Amino acid sequence: MENDDVAARAAALMPSLLESLTELVAIPSVAFPGYPAEPVEEMARTTLRMLHEAGATDARLMDVPSGYPPIYGEIPGPPGSPVVVLYAHYDVQPAPPEQGWTTDPWRPATRPDGRVSGRGSADDKGGIVCHLGTLRLLADRPPCTLRIVLEGMEETESNLEAFVVAHPDLFECDAFVVCDMGNLRVGEPVLTTALRGDVACVVTVSTLQHPLHSGIFGGPAPDAMMALARLLATLQDDDGDVAVAGVTSRAWDGEGITAEEFLASADLLDGVGLVGTGPVGDRLWTKPSINAIGVDTTGIAGSSNVLIPRASAKISMRIVPGADPDHELDALVAHLESHAPWGARVEVQRTKAAPPFDCRTDGPAYAAARAALADAYGVEPGVVGSGGSIPLLRTLAGVAPGAEFVLWGPEDVAGARIHASDESVDPREIERMVVAQVRFLQRYAEAQEPA
């Protein structure tokens, strides 16, 4: 198919693809512990049916020791053609009322601006629909051998990494297409080429052998919660930049995002400003960031007039592409152990050291992806990073060390609001991504043909 034919056929598919998206978003497939299993199981069955209808008749639920099963299928291409894995996930984030939803997250609707709302509409049921559209256009005669992998626990404790290690032959390929990303702005294509990593630890500060009456001992005796607060405050300087000595930072040289664009999607409270220095793209993608993501101490309901002897916090630090996670975590631990006030005792438990990820940008898959985005959008694509980390990519690279990675999708940063209230997707991004994926497979197959 020529590019105009692909675009016309993708446009004709959109009504049925939006019906599929609506059906999928209506299923509350939250795989987190404590949520009911039935909706996630229903989501797996519904997605599997849609794959079969799109031509992936070999697709099936795979056996896993625990958790929700990944979906796997294969569609053979011409003999000797490259092998491409299409990845997305069918589970979603929770959507509690306290997030401030203005619509029912499980009743997808088309908004006045044309976007389809609902939890998972962008992340990542929109990605699944992109794959469904790609298969509907190509499943009868794909130019490459396609392997479809849809994960069921991406948003929680993933079981796919262990499955990949146990079944490496299923993931041997020439390229992975991860449809769980998006453009900065609708209609302006980008490829994601770098992801930050993530290191984490739990720090516990102790100051007393037991609680003490705050009226009798308060003043001279140090309170552990106050000591912990002062320790956490040392992790950032006055501008909000990470103040841990020895951590890695660099400048970003790809597509940028303005402070105004970031503010439009970040929903800060009135009067609250951004933290850190330098361009926003640097702060998001190539500078470390640090957060206390959990605190253990006496709850307000159970509080009394006592000094707290012990308090803990879980600290997460995003690390930049190219950084060594062990080195970065060592630097964080050394800082915590050396900055406690008043001689407070500090214990640090290391909990995570997930490496960053850099995509190869000099191979045939990357070239084909850039050309395919230009075909679909009519303009040359830019290059962006991602502040998030996907540890699965390292595992996949381990079982297919020669494979390239293409990271894209329909989740535009400016409007999708993934993981937040009022998540939505622009149908035009789904349509363009279907065109881009079809054209990528065609161009990649042509590039891999022997001269």
Residues in contact with 9: Cβ distance below 8 Å, sequence separation at least 6, in sequence order: 1, 137
C-alpha separations of 120 from 57, 59, 112, 250 in Å: 25, 22, 19, 33
Provide the token pair at 183. 């453009």
Residue with tokens 């209609």, as numbered in its chain? 187
Ordered strands of the 424-425 beta sheet: 109-110, 116-117, 424-425
State yes or no: is 4 an active-site residue.
no
Residue 193 in contact with residue 385, Cβ under 8 Å? yes
Whole-angstrom distance, CA of residue 208 vs CA of residue 433: 58
Q: Are 96 and 10 in contact (CB under 8 A)?
A: no
Spot the catalytic one: 91, 328, 404, 429.
91
DSSP string of 346-372, one letter each residue: EEEEEEEEE--EE---SSHHHHHHHHH
Which residues are CB-contacts of 327 (< 8 A; sequence separation ≥ 6)? 246, 248
State the burial class of residue 58 (Cβ atoms within 10 Å of its Cβ: 0-12, 13-18, 19+).
middle
Q: Is residue 321 within 8 Å of 253, Cβ to Cβ? A: no
The DSSP secondary-structure symbol of 215 reads H
Residue 154: active-site member: yes
Contacts of residue 434, defined as CB under 8 A and 6 or more positions apart, other chains included, come to 10, 13, 17, 130, 133, 134, 137
| Catalytic residue (one of 151, 154, 180, 431) | 154
Residue type, 245: A
H helical segments located in 224-343:
224-233, 259-266, 280-281, 325-338
Taking the C-alpha atoms of residue 261 and residue 263, their distance in angstroms, rounded to an integer, is 5
Considering Cα of 64, then 403, then 45, then 101, what sign does the dihedral take?
A: positive
Q: Say how far apart CA 24 and CA 39 lie, in whole Å.
A: 11
- Phi, psi dihedrals of residue 300, rounded to the nearest 5°: -60, -45
**Distance linking the first and last C-alpha atoms of the chain:** 21
Enzyme catalytic residues: 91, 154
